[in-house]
Amino acid sequence: MKFVFIAKHRAIWPVAWLCNALGVSRSGFHAWLNRTPSARSRSDEVLGQRVKASFVTSDRTYGVRRVWHDMLAEGLACGLHRIERLMQLQALRARPRQRRLPKDEGDRQMPRMPSNILDRQFEAERPNQKWIADFTYIWTAEGWLYVSAVIDLFSRRVVGWSMSATMTAQLVADALYWQSGGVASRGSCCIIPIGEVSTAVSSSSD
């Protein structure tokens, strides 16, 4: 396994440095490199490709046991521990299929409800007169990612957006002030809670 790692990364780091770091000899590595692959190694290479194909097809949700059942269904004779070893060599780790929605821990304490400036009037006569903003969450391989966007109701284009690993009011505020040149700073903004989310509405000053 050490020799496999050295062969994979020798284009990045010197072979001598890798051998010294892993406690193996350079002569041993070169002897292994020039050796004809054994039947077991060739079989592992073919099976490893099938293992990876099964894992990717499952949208990276299959663990060792499910991949093993896939291999058996294809008529490939292999053991569970062999599949586990081949998945570890390729760093194939299943991510959970089921995931809970993120908790909303936002502070809802307000001294008063701000006035609804927009009042469901979704037409604008000029640019930067009315903006609407909202946020959502997207599941990624590293966890939940929160995204906020600001849309100009005149052009129906996104004029500001922001991303964060946490769901806070600052996420929407960052999207409002994202525009280059500080377009959002020329307007007034109020945050109007609607159900589980908050919508930001802005009306620029004359």
In the chain, DSSP finds a helix count (H) and a strand count (E) of 7, 5
* Whether 103 and 143 share a structural domain: yes
pTM beyond cutoff 0.95: no
pLDDT in tens, 63-73: 999 999 999 99
pLDDT in tens, 94-123: 876 556 666 666 565 655 666 777 777 778
pLDDT value, residue 155: 85
- Lowest-pLDDT range of 75-79, 125-129, 132-136, 181-185: 181-185
Number of folded domains that form the chain: 2
More confident residue, 198 or 5: 5
Q: Determine the structural domain holding residue 162 and report its residue range.
A: 99-206
> Within a domain: residue 31?
yes
* Whether 40 and 75 share a structural domain: yes
* Whether 68 and 150 share a structural domain: no
Sequence-distant (6+) residues with CB within 8 A of 72 are 78
